[in-house]
Amino acid sequence: MFNELSLGAQTGADMYDIIIIGAGITGCFIAREMSRYQCKIAVVDAENDVANGATMANSAIVHAGYDPEEGSLKARFNVRGSRMYEEICRELGTEYIRTSAYVAACSAEEVEKLEELYQNAVRRGIPVAYVSTEEARKEEPALSDHVVKVMELPTTAIIYPWETATALMEEAVINGCDLFLANKVTSIIKDNGGYQVKTNRQMFVGKLVINAAGVYADQIYQMAAGKKIFTIKARKGEYYVLDRSDNPLVKRVIYPIPSASGKGVLAVPTTHGNVLLGPNSVFTDDKEGNDTTREGLDYVRNQLMKTLRVFPANKVIRSFAGLRASGEQHDFIIEESDVCEGFFNVACIESPGLASAPAIAEYVVNELILPKYPWSVKESFKRREPLLRVNKMTPEEQNELVRMNPAYGRIVCRCEQVTEAEIVEAIRRPVGATTVKGVKKRVRPGMGRCQGGFCEPLVVEILARELGITPQEVLLDSEKSLLLTGETKEVGGEQG
C-alpha cells in the first residue's frame, strides 16, 4: 500500500505506520483504538509523562453536551462521548461516577438562557429536567440564595482523567504501541509517502501522522505544512482544590449559566472525595504559562459566590492552573490536512475535550483513517489488569493481599491511605510512573491535605529503588525538576 520511506531507511530511524504526537487524553484514546489494528504505532510526547498538559489540569467532567453551539463538532462529539464513557471506564477498570449536575440561573436574564440550554438538551436527546429551588437546596445545601432556577442534567459524570489516559495508553502499549516520552518534536519533513518526525532525542519515520499536540498543535502542523494554517492560543484556567471529605461541599457538578468565555466557574466533586472550584478563563501568550495568579484565584472565588453560599477557604489544600488549546474558530479541528496527505489534525481540543475524546477517537479511526488506510483488525486485543483498590476491599481481601505481599500492609501516604505495594505497582506497570508526580497521578500519594509533606521522602526512596537510580536522580516531574541537590556536607553552595 505504501512506498518504502527512503530517508528513514537510510538513517536507520524507527519506522512506524502511525506517529501520534501527543499523549494527552485524545492521543491516548486514538492510540488505544488504533492498537486494535495491524499497524505499528508510536506515540511521542514532549512531556515526561502521559496526561501532562491539558489532561493534567481540567475540571475532570464528562459533560452531558448541553451547551456547545448547535451544529458544532463540540456538540456532536460531546454528546456522543458522554454516552461512551461509562462502558469504556468499565472496560478499563477506571473511575466513572455519574454525579448529575445542576445548572443554576441567578437572574431573569439567566433564566431565559437556561431555557435555551434546556431546549438544546432536549433536541440532543440529553436527559434533562427542571428541579424546584427548594429541592435543589435540599440536595445541595451549598447553593446560594441568588439561585432562582435550576436545571438538572442527570447523566453528567466525573472521571479521574490521569487514570483514564494512563489506562488507555497502557492498553495501547500492551497491544504493541511504542511510547516515547520526553521527546519534543523539532521538525517534520514530508518524505516520499510519509513523514520524518525529528525530536530532541531521535528520529521517527511514519506513514501517517496524527497531530494531537494540545496547545502546540498549530506549531506541529506548521512544521509539516511549511506555513501557519491555524493558530492556537493557550487559555488559562485556575482552580482551587478542597480537602477530601465524606460530606463534600457539593455532590453534583454545579454550573453557572455559560458565557462567551466558556462554562464559567464550577464546583465539581472529584472521584476521590475532593471538590474542585474553578476555572477562570484568561488568554496567555506563554504556552507553558500554567502559573496561578492572585487575580485569577480571586476571580474564581468571587464568581463562585454567585452560585454558592460559602467559599470554604479553610478547606483549600492546593490551587493549580491548566491551559486549554483554544482555536480562533471556537470549535475543534478534526480532519486530514488538505495540504499534507496522511497528516491528521486533532486540534483545538478545549472544553469539552475530555468528554468528547472517545468520540473524537472513534471518528478519527473509523471515518478518517480506516476508510482510506484499511488496516485489518488484530486477532486479539489484550485487556489491562485494573489497579487493585486496596482501600475499597473488605478486611478479609485486604489481609489476603498482605499475606501474599506484605508491602500491602505498609501505608506510605497517610492522607490518601496508599500502600507501598500500590506505589511499586504504579511504577512497574506498562506506562509506569518514573517521577514523584507520576506516582501521585496514578495512585495519589501527595494528593491529600499534607501535600506530600510526610510521604514524599518515602516515595523518593521507593522510586529510586525501583528505577535503579539514586534518590538525587529522582525527579518531581520534568527532566529538569530534580528534588535533592546533594548529600549532606557536600553541598558546595555559595557562602557569605
Partner 1 sequence: MNEYDVIVIGGGSAGIAAAVECYKNGCEKVIILERDKELGGILLQCIHNGFGLHMFQEELSGPAYAQRWIEELGKYEIAYKVNTMVTHVNVDAHIAEDAAKAKSEADKIVEYVNQAEGYVRIRGKAVILAMGCRERTRGAIGIPGYRPSGIWSAGTAQRYLNMEGYMVGKRIFILGSGDIGLIMARRMTLEGARVLGVAELMPYSNGLSRNIKQCLEDFDIPLYLSHTVTKILGKDRVSGIELSEVDDNMQPIPGTEIYFEADTLLLSVGLIPENNLSEEAGVILHPKTGGAVVDEAKQTNIPGIFACGNVLHVHDLVDFVSKEGQEAGRNAARYLRGELKSEKGFVTKAGSGIGYVMPQKVNADNMEETVEFMFRVSQPCQNVSVSVYRGDTCIKKVNKRVLLPAEMEKVKLDKTLLQSAEGDLEIRIESRGVIG
Query: What residues act catalytically?
Result: 63
- Alpha helix segments (H runs only) across 12-107: 25-34, 73-92
| Least CB distance to partner 1 at residue 273 (A) | 13
Distance, in Å, from the CA atom of 8 to the CA atom of 277, rounded to the nearest integer, reads: 48
Spatial contact of 147 and 104, defined as CB atoms under 8 Å apart: yes
In the chain, the amino acid numbered 17 is: D
Cell 506510605 maps to which residue? 412
C-beta closer to partner 1: residue 174 or 317? 317
| Least CB distance to partner 1 at residue 286 (A) | 9
Site string for partner 1, 283-322 (x = CB under 8 A): -----x-xxxxx-xx------------------xxxxx--
Spatial contact of 97 and 157, defined as CB atoms under 8 Å apart: yes
C-beta closer to partner 1: residue 246 or 379? 246
C-beta closer to partner 1: residue 9 or 310? 310
Distance, in Å, from the CA atom of 118 to the CA atom of 152, rounded to the nearest integer, reads: 9
C-beta closer to partner 1: residue 177 or 413? 413
Query: To 5 degrees, how large is the angle CA 302–CA 248–CA 96?
Result: 105
Site string for partner 1, 318-357 (x = CB under 8 A): xxx-------------------------------------
Site string for partner 1, 449-488 (x = CB under 8 A): xxxxxx-xx---x---------xx--xxxxxxxxxxxxxx
| Least CB distance to partner 1 at residue 485 (A) | 5
Q: Is 249 a residue that touches partner 1 (CB under 8 A)?
A: no
| Least CB distance to partner 1 at residue 344 (A) | 30
| Least CB distance to partner 1 at residue 184 (A) | 14
Burial of 440 per CB tally in 10 Å (0-12, 13-18, 19+): buried
Cell 501535600 maps to which residue? 451
Q: What is the 3-state secondary structure of 173-241?
A: HHCCCEEECCCCEEEEEEECCEEEEEECCCEEEEEEEEECCHHHHHHHHHHHHCCCCCCEEEEEEEEEE
Of 358, 338, 361, which Cα lies nearest the Cα of 230? Answer: 338
The phi, psi pair for 373, rounded to 5°, reads -125, 80
| Least CB distance to partner 1 at residue 392 (A) | 13
| Least CB distance to partner 1 at residue 395 (A) | 5
Distance, in Å, from the CA atom of 259 to the CA atom of 234, rounded to the nearest integer, reads: 18
Spatial contact of 311 and 305, defined as CB atoms under 8 Å apart: yes
C-beta closer to partner 1: residue 315 or 384? 315
- Please pick, from the candidates 398, 466, 467, 473, the single residue that binds partner 1 as defined by CB under 8 A: 398
Of 96, 94, 97, which Cα lies nearest the Cα of 171? Answer: 94
C-beta closer to partner 1: residue 198 or 444? 444
CB count in 10 Å sphere of residue 484:
13
| Least CB distance to partner 1 at residue 347 (A) | 24
Find the binding residues for partner 1 in span 377-396 (CB under 8 A).
395
- Please pick, from the candidates 399, 428, 465, 469, the single residue that binds partner 1 as defined by CB under 8 A: 399
C-beta closer to partner 1: residue 468 or 496? 496
Query: To 5 degrees, how large is the angle CA 30–CA 348–CA 435?
Result: 60
C-beta closer to partner 1: residue 51 or 188? 51
Query: To 5 degrees, how large is the angle CA 239–CA 316–CA 421?
Result: 90
Of 224, 209, 207, 211, which Cα lies nearest the Cα of 1? Answer: 207
| Binding residue count for partner 1, defined by CB under 8 A | 61
| Least CB distance to partner 1 at residue 479 (A) | 8
Query: What's 364's DSSP letter?
Result: I
Find the binding residues for partner 1 in span 400-429 (CB under 8 A).
401-403, 406-411, 414-415, 417
Contacts 24+ apart (CB under 8 A), 264-267: 264/303, 265/299, 265/300, 265/303, 265/304, 265/306, 265/307, 266/59, 266/61, 267/142, 267/304, 267/307, 267/308
C-beta closer to partner 1: residue 180 or 454? 454
Find the binding residues for partner 1 in span 218-237 (CB under 8 A).
none
Binding residues for partner 1, per CB under 8 A? 241, 288, 290-294, 296-297, 316-320, 395, 398-399, 401-403, 406-411, 414-415, 417, 449-454, 456-457, 461, 471-472, 475-489, 491-496
